Structure 1
Amino acid sequence: MTTQGSARERVLAAYEDLLINDGPRAATLGAVAATAGVSKGGLLYHFNSMEALTAGLVEKMRELATVDACIMSEDPDGCASYYVRTSIFGGTTFDRTVVAAMRLAQGEDSTVRAAFAEMHERWYKLILSDIKDPTVARAVMLLGDGLYYNAALFGLPTTPGQDAEAAGAVDVEALLRVVAQMRASVGQ
């Protein structure tokens, strides 16, 4: 149970925790309230239904994605490098929100899938503005998505250096060199 932050923030964090650790079926209103340390009435004050709670999670993800896109657009190494470099699950608030929403996207919720599509399209446009080639931009997206998928599901460590592969880790610096090669291949 989290005791810091507003009740609304605690409810969203509890919902994320339950989605990540136990899945959507376990994330009932009662379980979310108990995990957040609020009464069910307190939860219903902020989110009057599961749909409203999911909408709150999607809104949070969109807000965090907007901040991320701003940071990405200003990265001195370029949007493509930023995308790959940050595609390692780091346990940030944004990471946790994305993974929780991914659990919901696996179900029937088209609202969550639509939010992911919007977020993905924004990232793609930023990478395309950096790389200038749609195929290479898509390859960068797939590289980053694969990193995130593996890190989120399997917890693969990231280690720079040649021993990374032998240890089963992902050498992000080596992948960033691949991104630089891809960028160079399109004349940048």
Structure 2
Amino acid sequence: MPRPSQRDRIVDAYVDHVVAEGPETVTLDAIAARAGVSKGGLLYHFGSREALLAGMLERVRALTEADIAAARAAAAEGTETVAHYYLRTSADDPARDSAFFRAMVAVLKVAGTEEAAAATARASMAAWQEALTEETGDELTADLVAALGDGIYLRAIAGERSTPLTRDWDATLRRLLGC
């Protein structure tokens, strides 16, 4: 696996800092130190805190697209539906502490004070809604799957890993989708 670029290490450090310390503590010096780069190295890639935020939001958009592509690929292979993927990863990603999970937690922490972060979170949810609607053929059903997944995600973040919903994804989806 190739070594992450300096730019990627800086975005990783920004995400990690926001998750661990909160967005109000972000400084260029703190992010440079966490990334193991000089402040000049950070400024070469990101000239301001706003540019760091933009870099993180760009990553979230890319991770969202990749996650939806993985769900669609699994559906095309017949291994699981998009809805199954969405629900399963809602429980799995927080447990595995995935890059997508960490980036979304950072975006949600920043969304309270930065409209660009809130807009990116909404766009990610809308992209999933579109993928789920495409699969289910019904906007309300897609929204129900998304809301259920969001609740499972919240529970998983809080450490609740196993519930009747998560023990048998097929049964959960049959009950939800009425099939």
TM-score after normalising by structure 1: 0.83
SS in 2 for 1:142: helix
| 1:79 correspondence with 2:105 | no
Alignment of 1:20-99 (within 5 A): 20-75=19-74, 76=78, 77-88=80-91, 89=94, 90-99=96-105
Quote the Cα distance in structure 1 between the aligned partners of 2:24 and 2:105.
16
How far apart are the structure 1 equivalents of 2:54 and 2:18?
A: 14
The alpha-carbon deviation at position 181 of structure 1 amounts to 2.4
Look up the match of 2:130.
125
Q: Partner amino acid for 2:111?
A: A
Compare the two structures and name the one with the higher helix fraction. Answer: 2
**Aligned match of 1:180 in 165, 168, 174?**
174
% of aligned pairs identical? 34
Partners in 1 of 2:120 and 2:156 — Cα distance? 21
**Which of the residues 147, 154, 157 maps onto 2:152?**
147
Q: Which residue matches 2:115?
A: 110
Quick one: distance in 2 between partners of 1:67 and 1:157?
Answer: 24
Whether contact under 8 Å (1:150, 1:156) holds in the other structure is yes
Tell me, yes or no, if the aligned pair for 1:124 and 1:141 is still in contact at 8 Å.
Answer: yes
Q: What is the one-letter code of the residue matched to 1:126?
A: A
For 1:176 and 1:51, how far apart are their aligned partners in 2?
43
Structure 1 CA distance for aligned equivalents of residues 28 and 6 of structure 2:
14
Using the alignment, how far apart are the partners of 1:112 and 1:23 within structure 2? 14
Q: How far did 1:157 drift?
A: 2.5
Structure 2 residue matching 1:56: 3-state secondary structure: helix
Shift in Å at residue 61 of structure 1? 0.8
In structure 1, distance between residues paired with 2:159 and 2:24: 23
Distance 1:45 1:122 in 2: 32
The RMSD of aligned alpha carbons is 1.7
Unaligned runs of 5+ in 1: 159-164
Q: Does the CA-based 8 Å contact 1:84-1:176 persist in structure 2?
A: no
